[in-house]
Amino acid sequence: MLGLLLVNSFLEILGLAAILPVIVILLQEDIVENISSFQWLYNFFGFASETRFLVVFALLVMGFMVAKNAVSLWIYKQQANFSYKLYSYFSSQLFKVYQNKGLFFFKSHNPSHVIRNINQIPLDFVNFIVLNLITILNEAVVILIILTLILLYDPVIVLLLSVFVVPVFSLFYRAVKSKSQAIQSELNEVNPTLHINLFHFVYGYIDVKMNNSEAYFLENHKRHLSRVSRLSMLDKVLQQAPTKVIETGLMAAITLVALYGVLFVQDKQHIVGLLSVFALAAYRILPSINRSMIALVGVKGFQHTFEELNQLNQIDKTSGAKPSEDICFTSSIRVENLSFAYNKDMVVLNNISFPIKRNSITGIIGTSGSGKSTLVNLLLGFYAPSSGLIRIDDVPLDERNVASWRRKNGYVQQEVYILDATVAENIAFGVSKESIDAVKLDRAVRLASLADVVNRLPDGLNTVLGDRGAMLSGGQRQRIGIARALYHGANLLILDEATSALDASTENEINEAVCRLAENDMTVIIIAHRWTSLRRCDSIVELENGIIKRICSYDELIKKPMA
């Protein structure tokens, strides 16, 4: 990229130099006779007339300019291609970093901020840091060469440029750099807030209408928009300001060059040449300085992008991690003296122990806050125990084998996440449409008792379900979740409050489907708040304030229900 940058800079200089002979032609008469190089070319190629020579020369200059600009565009394309490959690379690497953040991170951070950090931050880095640095380097080379040539022609012009342009440039940059950085940092913070409000309005539309809270969300939107608009306006003004400031400085310098020529140079032809050279230099230096200043302000304004990209160092720290070890589940899961606390003042589970046999249905029940969801996250390996352990066939579950363990599990939440895609794509979650295995798909649909639902849909398995499964009922979403687990080969299915929002009839249908799964070599864990969900369980673990109150059968549970 640096090599291409230097080539492009020299092409710019050659393009500028190509204009000089045209100026000479306009300023002087009988140029073939008066300029030795023109006379040599005229005689060497045997031109019949001066007019024909000038026409051919003008056409050659035009051809060179076309070729130069074509090559410059190709170089710009290569630079842009390089830069946006960096964007793809950084965004993909940040995606990996966030994949390893853990469940607790995603529960405590807003999705809008995460999406911004993965996508917008790398894009801003490329647009305002990488491309601006390329611009600064390119224009610096152009300006340096032009100033060197002018210095050889007349050092006084360079002195005048230094006196008038450099101070203006420096003072303006110092005045705006901090302001630009503050504006961009504030925009970086406020933009996700604007998106969060819109997200809440869209996904909470029914509640918005039911509670007549349209005005609240509209006022929030207006307030955030006002702040974004004001900051964006100031940012645009700062982007345009360099042009006007540098223009003013150069015009002052041109005026001074003219006065210098009139007062101190006796040869009027030299004055014309002096002004021509300076005007030509200004013609090219003005946009170069302007682009450089805008680029410098942009680089300063988007320093915050480094804060997120510095997370890429985390990949290096984990690059030597051991590959995932396989873990087998053939007999039982044993929870042994398991405790978990978010901090010393917030103990969620306290020294609990119980077994789960393979091909059994185990229920876990308790009031809100009893530790049910935390236990699920421990069973799935999303949290690490504070003490104690979970054994799978006598092998402790830890970071070395947790990936293998999750592949053997299916997890159905109360709100099953439904893609805005077809039924088949939702069941084969994470598999491209072209790679879906029809045999596995058919088995999953059949075992999840989803066949009747699919047959009633207009396009069967190819029916697009809409945002968050708008075409499905609650029970149908749960079946999609179960089918998803079955498609991916789970032999342990965890239902986390999966039927709590369903009516009794639909809940019974789901429970019947779960029983059939247990008969087909499937181990099931049902997390529930109400005991009617546990009718078909082989054993039930009752939690209370983070400890096991009792382990019992369903009949024992209903004889002495929870307080």
Q: What is the CATH number of the domain that holds 368?
A: 3.40.50.300
Q: Could you tell me which residues come within 8 angstroms of residue 351 by beta carbon, excluding any fewer than 6 positions away? A: 337, 338, 339, 387, 388, 547
CA dist 269 and 402 (Å) reads 84
pLDDT tens for 521-541 read: 788 898 887 777 788 888 999
Quick check: helix, strand or coil at residue 496? strand
Phi–psi pair at 542, nearest 5 degrees:
-100, 120
Cα three-residue angle 260-266-272, rounded to 5 degrees? 65
- Residue 498 pLDDT level (bands cut at 50, 70, 90): low
More confident residue, 414 or 409: 409
User: Are 218 and 356 contained in the same domain?
Assistant: no
In a domain, 320, yes or no: no
Count the domains in the chain. Answer: 2
As a whole number, the mean pLDDT across the chain is: 80
For residue 320, the model assigns a pLDDT of 46
304 and 346 fall within a common domain: no
Span 108-157, pLDDT tens digits:
777 878 888 888 889 999 988 998 898 888 888 888 887 787 787 777 76
Domain span including residue 499: 332-559
How far apart CA 19 and CA 382 sit, in angstroms, is 68
Classify residue 486: in a domain, yes or no: yes
Contact 528, 363 (CB under 8 A): yes
Give CA–CA dist 178/230, Å, rounded: 17
What's the N-to-C CA distance of the chain in angstroms? Answer: 72
Same domain? For 307 and 386 the reply is no
Among 257, 283, 314, the domain-final residue is 314
Range picked from 129-133, 164-168, 175-179, 214-218 for highest mean pLDDT: 129-133
Please report, as a single letter, which amino acid is at residue 191. N
Rounded CA-CA distance 232/220 in Å is 18
DSSP 442-473: HHHHHHTT-HHHHHHSTTGGG-B--TTSTTS-
Quick one: 280 and 358 in the same domain? Answer: no
Q: What is the per-residue pLDDT for 501? A: 56
Final residue in a domain of this structure, among 287, 314, 341: 314
Same domain, 453 and 307: no
pLDDT at 429 over 70: yes
At 28 the pLDDT is: 62
The pLDDT of 506-511, averaged and rounded, is 72
Task: Kindly state whether residue 365 falls inside one of the protein's structural domains.
Answer: yes
Residues 527, 372 contacting (CB under 8 angstroms): yes
Q: What is the pLDDT of residue 280?
A: 67
Q: Are residues 410 and 436 in the same domain?
A: yes
- The pLDDT tens digits of the residues spanning 185-231 come to 787 777 777 777 777 777 666 667 766 778 888 888 888 888 888 88
13-63 pLDDT tens trace: 787 777 767 666 666 666 666 667 777 777 777 777 777 777 787 788 888
Of 12, 23, 36, 34, the C-alpha closest to 278 is 23
Q: Which residues partner with 361 through β-bridges?
A: 524
Residue 503 forms part of a structural domain: yes
| Domain end point (choices 256, 285, 314) | 314
Instruction: State whether 346 and 310 are in the same domain.
Output: no
Please tell me whether residues 471 and 362 are part of one structural domain: yes
- pLDDT score of 164: 64
Do 285 and 417 belong to one domain? no
Query: Which CATH number do you get for residue 226?
Result: 1.20.1560.10
Would you say residue 505 lies in a domain? yes
Nearest to 169 by CA among 234, 242, 239, 237: 242
User: The tokens of 31 are what?
Assistant: 């140029």
Is 327 a member of any domain? Answer: no
Residue 388 and residue 263 share a domain: no
DSSP state for residue 342 in the 8-state scheme: E
pLDDT of residue 319: 47
Say what the pLDDT of residue 315 is: 64
The more confident residue out of 417 and 345 is 417
Where helices occur in 204-267 by DSSP H, the ranges are 205-210, 214-264
- Looking at per-residue confidence, does 140 or 184 come out higher? 140
* Token code pair at residue 295: 């680029």
From CA 207, how far away is CA 467, in angstroms rounded? 17
H/E element holding 337? Answer: strand 332-343
- Burial class from Cβ neighbours inside 10 Å (0-12, 13-18, 19+) for residue 240 reads exposed
| pLDDT of 294 | 77
Cα distance between residue 422 and residue 458, in whole Å: 11
- Whether residue 322 lies inside any domain: the answer is no
Whether residue 309 is found in the same domain as residue 411: no
Instruction: Identify whether 372 is part of a domain.
Output: yes
User: Is residue 475 within 8 Å of 502, Cβ to Cβ?
Assistant: yes
pLDDT attached to residue 390:
92
| Same domain assignment for residues 180 and 295 | yes
The pLDDT value recorded for residue 267 is 66
Q: What are the φ/ψ torsions at residue 526 (nearest 5 degrees)?
A: -110, 115
